[in-house]
Structures are given as structure tokens and as C-alpha cells.
Amino acid sequence: MEMFTASETPIIATILLVAFGILGWGFYRARPYGKLGIFAWLQSVVLMAPWLVFFGLFAAGIYINIVAILLLLVVSTAIYIYLGRQLRAAGQDVIRSLGSGPQAAAGFIAGMATSDGRPLRTVITTFQAITPMPTR
């Protein structure tokens, strides 16, 4: 018995190419942002992976039970949370390395670029300190 018929094979190949194309495009866009961009991209990969595995196996005629589906989702969620913590820690390192105060924020914003590499055109006129409200 054949696993795929002639009409199913190109459809499955097209779906896989589109999925990996989306992942590759996301990686290409994440690279300029360094470690933070890669962590954010990995989070999107972890979100997509269980669905790609499930529907890929389903398209191949392999049916997994509900326990395996739940295991895929739980493992994916755990990895997503781990990557989120790593991303937050890396973001804090970047903030600490920039220093503090309005000048550091202005330098950070001025150093940002659009997705095609052009610098952002921002106008920063004044920074106002936020005064906390007194508590009673």
C-alpha cells in the first residue's frame, strides 16, 4: 500500500516548503537583532513546531493519540517559557549595557534600524521625568 497518492505528494511538499520558508524568513529578519532576535525567533519556532509535527504526521497517515498531542503541547509550552526567561534576561543585559537615563534611551532609539537596514528617523525633543504619585 502506498503512503501517498500522486495528487497528495505535491500538496504536502508545498505545505512543507511554505512552512520552512516562513521559518527561514523569520530567521533572516531576526539575525540583525542578534541574540534577542534569535531568542524571539526560537520562540516562534517552538510555537509552530507541535502543529507542524502533528499535521505533518497526519498528512503522512500517521495518527498520534491525545496523550502524545498533549505531551507535544506541554513540552512546547515549557520550552517557550524557558526561552522567554532567556530573552528577558538577555534584554536586561542589553538595557544595563546601554546605561540609564534619557541619553541612553535616545542613543538606543537612534541606533535602531528598519527591516531593510535603513536607520529609523526619529525626533526626540524632550524627556520628561515621570513623578510617582504619592501613596496614602
> pLDDT digits over 102-118, tens only?
555 555 555 555 656 66
In order of 44, 54, 57, 80, 88, the CA distances from 41 in angstroms are 5, 20, 24, 11, 14
Is the residue at 130 inside a domain?
no
> pLDDT digits over 85-103, tens only?
999 988 888 877 776 655 5
Is the residue at 40 inside a domain?
yes
Is the residue at 126 inside a domain?
no
Distance from the first to the final alpha carbon of the chain: 77
Q: Which domain holds residue 12?
A: 8-99
Domain count for the chain: 1
> pLDDT digits over 14-70, tens only?
888 898 899 999 999 999 888 899 999 999 999 989 988 888 888 878 899 999 999
